[in-house]
Amino acid sequence: NAGVMQNPRHLVRRRGQEARLRCSPMKGHSHVYWYRQLPEEGLKFMVYLQKENIIDESGMPKERFSAEFPKEGPSILRIQQVVRGDSAAYFCASSLERQSTDTQYFGPGTRLTVL
The DSSP 8-state label assigned to residue 111 in this structure reads: E
Residue among 17 and 105 whose Cβ is closer to another protein: 105
User: Rounded to the nearest whole angstrom, what is the least distance from the CB of residue 113 to another protein in the complex?
Assistant: 13
**Pick 55 or 83: Cβ nearer another protein:** 55
**CA-wise closest residue to 109 among 36, 30, 32:** 36
For the chain, how many helices (H) and strands (E)?
Answer: 0, 11
The CB-of-104 to another protein minimum distance in angstroms stands at 6
Phi then psi dihedrals of residue 73, to 5 deg: 100, 180
| Helix then strand then coil, % of the chain, to nearest 5 | 5, 50, 50
Of residues 14 and 42, the one with the C-beta less far from another protein: 42
The least distance separating another protein from the CB of residue 39, rounded to whole angstroms, comes to: 11
Q: Minimum distance between the CB of residue 5 and another protein, rounded to whole angstroms? A: 10
Q: 39 with 94: CB under 8 angstroms?
A: no
Residues that bind another protein (CB under 8 A): 4, 6, 31, 33, 35, 41-45, 48, 55-56, 59, 91, 93, 95, 98-109, 111
